[in-house]
Amino acid sequence: HESILNAAGIIMDEGSSESTDADIRSDSVVKEKPKSGSGYSNMTIAELEENLKTAIAEEAYEKASVIRDEINRRSKGKK
């Protein structure tokens, strides 16, 4: 499943069926899972919406969901 691969933070070259540990380390990308609301609490709604569009365009869906949750949290507070 893609969610497991994303959580592992390792991107492997699909063209190569055999990789050494050194190859894996050099090709690895360590992703930090965004913490709930981290850095977004200081942004305006307009900035959040722009970051959301960017995250979706980059297919960074986990990041987009955190931003969406921050926007929704603020919207519920204003009602």
Predicted local distance difference test score (pLDDT) of residue 28: 47
* Residue 65 reports pLDDT greater than 90: yes
Predicted local distance difference test score (pLDDT) of residue 76: 85
d(CA 65, CA 34): 10
* Residue 57 reports pLDDT greater than 90: yes
DSSP for 42-55, written as a single string = TS-HHHHHHHHHHH
d(CA 65, CA 15): 31
Q: Is the pTM of this model over 0.75?
A: no
Q: What is the mean pLDDT of residues 38-54?
A: 89
Higher pLDDT, 39 or 54: 54
Give alpha helix (H) positions in the chain: 2-8, 21-27, 45-57, 61-78
In tens, the pLDDT along 4-44 reads 666 766 556 666 555 555 554 554 444 444 454 468 888 89
